[in-house]
Amino acid sequence: MVDPVLFTIHNAEEAFFMRYRITSITDNALSYLKEYISTLTYEQFLVALVVVTVFPYLIAAFGNIGEKGSTAQYLLLLLQATIFLNVFSHISLSLSYQTYFPGFGTALAINLPFSFYLLKVGRAGKWISKWSLISMFPLVFLLHGPILWGLVHISGVVTN
């Protein structure tokens, strides 16, 4: 399943380097993101990052991850698929900004290979049906898009 420790390592890289990059990221935001991202603060980013980091630990601690086809297994695989999508966000943002984007290193070194491995093993081990795996894709885009942006917005309310 999602390895919360690997996820934490990635998020720690983002947290550490975002402190030094957030001003240049918000000041130089891509035109279609500028209106939303220009008000992003480091504190707001950290609150959202802590919430998404804790979530897999909660699922692993309280879910029945040992049972094939369980909701907990599905949720952890869904999070891993979202982490897989996040890799491509890091690649595209690094290319767009033409510089290192916080989290890029662990996205490529850890998240990309682990996502390939886990999703392949999950299918081969019949942890998840082909249909359930396919059904994840719209949810992945919801999680990594509007739900994540909503969490960042709520984090702004909490930090102000």
| Domain segments of the chain as ranges | 4-159
Query: What integer pLDDT is reported at residue 2 of this predicted model?
Result: 58
3-state secondary structure the chain: CCCHHHHHHHHHHHHHHHHHHHHHHHHCCCHHHHHHHCCCCHHHHHHHHHHHHHHHHHHHHHCCCCCCCCHHHHHHHHHHHHHHHHHHHHHHHHHHHCCCCCCHHHHHHHHHHHHHHHHHHHHHCCCCCHHHHHHHHHHHHHHHHHHHHHHHHHHHHHHC
pTM over 0.75: yes
Q: How much is the average pLDDT of 88-95?
A: 92
Q: How much is the average pLDDT of 54-76?
A: 85
